[in-house]
Structure 1
Amino acid sequence: MKYLLLFSCWCIGMLSPICLNAQTKKSGYFQNKQFGSNIDRSLKFTIGGGITSYSGDLNDVGERINTIFSGGILYKFAPHISLKTEFSFYQLSGTDVGGKNWQRNLSFQSRNFEGYAGLMYELFDVENPMRGQGLIVNPYVWAGLGFTTVNPYTSLNNTTYYLRRFKTEDVSYSGAAAVIPFGMGVRFEISRRVGFSLEGAYRFTFSDYLDDVSTTYVGSANITDNIRAQLADRGPEVNQPFREAGAQRGNPNRKDGYATLMIKFEYLIWPFNKYGKPECPTSIKFTRKPVIKR
């Protein structure tokens, strides 16, 4: 995933000067020809999907690709700047199997919901060109603040167990956490109302328990519930001894996070003029016919 994100950044960097050179040559480019020069606000609906990759204590094996689906709103309220809100459903997973910490033998999966709001800055101040102008490419960056649910689970003897309730490290952590998402992408305007974007992003979280691994072992002698003891220390499943209480289980100095790479489709709901009133989506100008007196 990190290589895909780096490749996305490289593509955006290469596209930016090309777009600037080609599009600024168009007559009246920085005016909205379709809706008139007064348009400086618009509202769009977005829907998309893509892949996720988790970063935490259980990703030594390599990239484990999962899926994400999202829906959101883009509200452009100033030149170049839009309010970006989005809600997503995504999956993450990680494992020690095959990695340097194979003796620990921990693994997790999760299905989470995420929501955030942020600001997006577009390189070009353009909105929904007329048909016939061709494809318009618009690089952008964005950042925001949001939340994610924290709901790791694993399988033991073909049974699924949601780990938060078992307190595998004797810690009662929250089922939700704050996130700081940020990213960059390229928007493609293909018609008066329809477009799509390619976007790479990363989420810093304020939780170290997306994977249920953070600090130290509780010690099997201190756990009376048999299932909880097996979930807390799975080393014996690969012929390793039970870990003593206080032995290192994870790295508490690094919070978990996850990256996304998505394609999103956009649909213009309505443009607004500089007074905040809806503007009729037509380029036809009506003029009053002169009255001929007889």
Structure 2
Amino acid sequence: MSKPANTTLRMLYGTAWKKERTTALVTQALQAGFLAVDTAAQPKHYQEHLVGKGVRTFLSGSNLTRGELYLQTKYTSINGQDPNNLPYDPSTSITEQVKASVASSLHNLRHTEDVEDSYIDCLVLHSPLPNIQQTMEAWDAMASFVPAKVHSLGISNTSLPILEYIWDNSNVKPKVVQNRFYAATGWDIGLREFCKENSIEYQSFWTLTGNPKFLGIPLVTRAAEEIGVSVEVAIYALVQGLGITPINGTTSHIETDIAKLLKLEEWKAKGHNSETWGKTVRAFELLLQKWSLASY
């Protein structure tokens, strides 16, 4: 996430499964201070056109400009789509499907009524295709939009070998990885190290729902109590401390989550709190490493 303006938060608002509430929730999230939004050209789970409407609604009443926002969307292959509601013709080649999908996203996410002004900050391959040749065809088609209409590329739901292959065999390198952050993958420790070494932003989803046992970790509950934030916000902050950008799709705590994260930032700026927080983050990281080793 090369921007948005409020970089201390490093969090995206997730728009999956919002249905008809999408416009209102996106507007609310932007007004609260998220300034970065994740969506997809996948009508099965996202209403991308309503995300764009929410963005335009926000900008019409804000002093901020489109350049101060970060909009991220995805190309989703046929395997992840509702066959009765597609943003492209499934009978065409993967390359043509990508082109049609991106064209629909540029229209949906336009910040003015003139689609020629539209651009996407990051275009993500929603998941690898059935084989690496198809995956690379999709990637190369996505890359053809960089840098004019798409500023960067990413991949979601990926393994480390696939990520390494794309990295080694592409002219436009991935700048984002968006994965489930949970025990089944050992919290992607090896993959995250690759991301760190190559300046790839790692974005987490299922950060809370995939990790219910985080809620009872003493170091988390103690930190939340000391700072005066919820355990959930403390978890988001600890994940951020690992260099991860979490995706937050809340519908009921939009303002609260942002306010409490800002409160935590203010707390860290006082006295020795930054050092204390650093120790808490390191203890959290060591705990994940221990649990990851125990699962193998």
Q: TM-score, normalised by structure 1?
A: 0.17
Which structure is higher in strand share? 1
Based on CA coordinates, which of the two structures has the bigger radius of gyration?
1
Which structure is higher in helix share? 2
Q: TM-score, normalised by structure 2?
A: 0.17
